[in-house]
């Protein structure tokens, strides 16, 4: 018989969330973890399943006054008292649990001022942050919005230190992406083990990698057709207008049903995992 692998729950932590849980993050103390939904973040002890402590609550007294929701949350990799959470308004709040038990007052507030010249009907939707991740060093954090990835220095709240465009060519397509609901897709992002590169997904089974030191970026594709074992991935280019070169793919022929929302990077080696619809691809750096 084929080997069947089955996951069986060891513990179930129940009855603490009214809305869908969007984030779970284990604390560096290895004793507690957080879980976040649209309006609340709860702190749990790993050994206690029947009660949690509410540390962030942004639910207004009148739900009609609700203007933003929590989209992601994570603990700092080394400081067990520090956590961040991002919002649908494009902001990130850093909280220190030492200053007060209920983190309703943040200690740092990260927001990039909007360029008034580029404001449009979609500005608020595309500025919503879908993922936030601390670097392994704990000095930086990365946020992913609909069109870009930003790297922030925790010591500078006013603007990011790096902005990487993921698929800027989609800016002219926002109308149709709104109509087919793709504009609400939640892309994740991740760091490599040394924090020198970052990765995030896109459409057409494309994923993007940015080398922070060399200031280089590449678009690669995870698909059955080009995933023969030992075959090298060829960089892909998207043509935005004018004459299309031989190897380029036109914006109009991108498949928006094929999207890579989840990616992961091995903590020590150059091995990545990419989830493309119902396929999981694992790639490794070419060994000469």
Which residues, 6 or more positions from 44, have their beta carbon under 8 angstroms from its beta carbon? 13, 16, 32, 33, 34, 35, 52, 53
- More confident site: 253 or 287: 253
Task: Please measure the distance between the N-terminal and C-terminal CA atoms of the chain and give it in whole angstroms.
Answer: 38
Average pLDDT score over the chain: 91
pLDDT at position 104 = 74
pLDDT in tens, 235-251: 888 887 767 777 788 88
pLDDT at position 210 = 96
The whole-angstrom separation of Cα 88 and Cα 31 is 29
- pLDDT over 60 at 206, yes or no: yes
pLDDT at position 84 = 96
What DSSP string runs through 78-138?
Answer: S-TTEEEEEETTS-EEEEETTT-SS--S-SEEE-PPP-GGG--TTHHHHHS--EEEE-TTS
* CA distance to 22, 143, 232, 271, per residue, from 229 (Å): 34, 33, 9, 14
pLDDT at position 242 = 67
Q: Percent of the chain scored above 90 by pLDDT?
A: 72
> How many other C-beta atoms are found inside a 10 Å radius of the C-beta of residue 75?
23
* CA distance to 150, 205, 223, 278, per residue, from 258 (Å): 24, 5, 10, 10
Confidence band of 49 (pLDDT split at 50, 70, 90): very high
DSSP 285: P
Q: What is the average per-residue pLDDT within 93-106?
A: 83
Confidence band of 232 (pLDDT split at 50, 70, 90): confident
pLDDT at position 227 = 65
The whole-angstrom separation of Cα 14 and Cα 12 is 6
Q: Would you say 273 and 280 are in contact if contact means Cβ atoms under 8 Å apart? A: yes
- Which residue carries 């678009």 as its tokens? 219
What DSSP string runs through 148-174?
Answer: EEEEEETT--SS-SEEEES-GGGGGGH
96-105 CB contacts, 8 Å cutoff, 24+ apart:
97/43, 97/55, 101/53, 101/55, 102/54, 102/55, 102/56, 102/57, 103/41, 103/55, 103/56, 104/56, 104/57
Q: Would you say 131 and 187 are in contact if contact means Cβ atoms under 8 Å apart? A: yes
pLDDT at position 1 = 83
- More confident site: 100 or 159: 159
pLDDT in tens, 249-269: 888 888 999 999 999 999 999
pLDDT in tens, 59-96: 999 999 999 999 999 999 999 999 999 999 999 999 99
DSSP 35: E
CA angle 276, 89, 55 (to 5 degrees): 90
The whole-angstrom separation of Cα 117 and Cα 111 is 18
Q: Would you say 236 and 249 are in contact if contact means Cβ atoms under 8 Å apart? A: yes
pLDDT at position 208 = 95
- pLDDT over 90 at 148, yes or no: yes
- pLDDT over 70 at 226, yes or no: no
Which residues, 6 or more positions from 282, have their beta carbon under 8 angstroms from its beta carbon? 271, 272, 273, 274
Q: Would you say 163 and 148 are in contact if contact means Cβ atoms under 8 Å apart? A: yes
Q: Percent of the chain scored above 70 by pLDDT?
A: 98
């Amino acid at each position: 018989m084929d080997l069947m692998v089955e996951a069986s729950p060891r513990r179930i932590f129940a009855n603490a969330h009214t809305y869908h849980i969007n984030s779970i993050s284990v604390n560096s103390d290895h004793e507690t973890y957080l879980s976040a939904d649209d309006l609340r973040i709860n702190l749990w002890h790993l050994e206690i399943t029947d009660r949690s402590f509410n540390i962030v609550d942004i639910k207004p007294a009148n739900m009609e006054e609700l203007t933003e929701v929590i989209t992601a949350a994570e603990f700092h990799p080394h400081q067990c008292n520090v956590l961040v959470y991002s919002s649908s308004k494009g902001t990130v709040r850093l909280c220190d649990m030492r200053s007060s038990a209920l983190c309703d007052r943040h200690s740092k507030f990260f927001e990039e001022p909007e360029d008034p010249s580029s404001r449009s009907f979609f500005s608020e939707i595309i500025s919503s942050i879908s993922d936030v991740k601390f670097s392994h060093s704990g000095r930086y954090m990365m946020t992913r919005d609909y069109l870009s990835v930003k790297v922030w220095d925790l010591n500078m709240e006013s603007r990011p230190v790096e902005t990487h465009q993921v698929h800027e060519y989609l800016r002219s397509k926002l109308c149709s992406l709104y109509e087919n609901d793709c504009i609400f897709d939640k892309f994740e992002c991740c760091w490599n083990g040394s924090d020198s590169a970052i990765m995030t997904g896109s459409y057409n089974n494309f994923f993007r990698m940015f080398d922070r030191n060399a200031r280089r970026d590449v678009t690669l594709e995870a698909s059955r057709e080009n995933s023969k074992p030992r075959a090298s991935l060829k960089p892909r280019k998207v043509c935005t207008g004018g004459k299309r070169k031989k190897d380029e793919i036109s914006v109009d022929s991108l498949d928006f049903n094929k999207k890579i929302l989840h990616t992961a990077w091995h903590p020590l080696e150059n091995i990545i995992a990419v989830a493309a619809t119902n396929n999981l691809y694992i790639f490794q750096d070419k060994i000469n």
